[in-house]
Amino acid sequence: MTTRSRLTIAAHVVFIVAFIGLWELASSHDLLDRTFFGRPSGIALFLWKGFVTDGKLWLELGYTLFGAAVSFLAGSIAAVSVGLLFMVVPRFHRAAEPYLTLLNAMPRIALAPLFLLWFGLGVGSKIAVGCSLTFFIVLSATVAGIRGANSDHTILSRALGASQRQVFFKVTLPSAVPVIFSGLRLGLIFALLGVVGAELIAAEHGLGQTLAYLQSTFSMDGVMGLLFLLALLGLGVTALMNRLERSLLAWQ
């Protein structure tokens, strides 16, 4: 590690410690209202209790992660398949485009009450919301990726005698992968967002449901703790996708 990066890390640590210290100090001296802002020691206690002493948060985390994972997988598999179908049958793409644009323009979270009615309070409705968000993001990335294939590559391949099928599998698809991948990265974040959002509205389990409950009972330490947890989750998901991208797309 270089001196420079060590210094940077030290600066971050100092900042975070100072920030938390000030917060703790301010709330313990009633400069900051604990009912509205919580306090760091309370937040830490909440997380400790939730994950270590009674371990109840694990179950909620599990529900949310399961919902997000299923939403992501189902939404992106459907999106990539439809995107590829569009490429093979351009007429279908032209016909479907206005409807997709209309659906995509709809605020998906507003559909959550409808999904709750259709799929119930359980994880089904959460997956429906997550899926509907992931699907459109990954679909537009797939279409953009396929359209972005370098014409030099296709011309050369055709001149060499490549069939339509060979051009598709050897040129169009691999060149679309990086764009599809950035769509997938966004899609995963949005799957998580959709699931937590739907849980906030109504659910039996999940981090969103817990958050709504804690908020309605004015347990700000809990709310802050969960927000922190959700931020970490988002960070973890992005880091995971970056890592996957680096190993899969070493040529970039």
Q: Which residues bind other proteins (CB under 8 A)?
A: 150, 152-153, 155-162, 166, 170-171, 174-175, 177, 249-252
- In sign, the C-alpha dihedral spanning 147, 237, 201, 118 is positive
Smallest gap from Cβ 141 to other proteins, in A, equals 17
Q: What is the largest CA-CA distance in the chain?
A: 78
Dihedral angle over CA of 135, 140, 143, 147, nearest 10: -160
- Other Cβ atoms within 10 Å of 35 Cβ, number: 8
Complex with other proteins: residue 90 or 161, whichever CB lies closer: 161
Smallest gap from Cβ 76 to other proteins, in A, equals 21
In the DSSP assignment, the letter for residue 109 is G
Complex with other proteins: residue 107 or 161, whichever CB lies closer: 161
What's the CA gap between 42 and 50, in Å, rounded? 12
Complex with other proteins: residue 47 or 171, whichever CB lies closer: 171
Smallest gap from Cβ 244 to other proteins, in A, equals 16
Dihedral angle over CA of 138, 133, 72, 245, nearest 10: 40
Contacts of 92 (CB under 8 A, 6+ apart): 85, 86
Complex with other proteins: residue 8 or 166, whichever CB lies closer: 166
Burial degree of 7 (CB within 10 A; 0-12, 13-18, 19+): exposed
Reference 23, options 43, 3, 6, 1; nearest CA is 43
In the DSSP assignment, the letter for residue 53 is I
Smallest gap from Cβ 58 to other proteins, in A, equals 41
Smallest gap from Cβ 149 to other proteins, in A, equals 11
Complex with other proteins: residue 162 or 227, whichever CB lies closer: 162
Smallest gap from Cβ 178 to other proteins, in A, equals 9
Smallest gap from Cβ 248 to other proteins, in A, equals 10
Complex with other proteins: residue 35 or 252, whichever CB lies closer: 252
Complex with other proteins: residue 1 or 160, whichever CB lies closer: 160
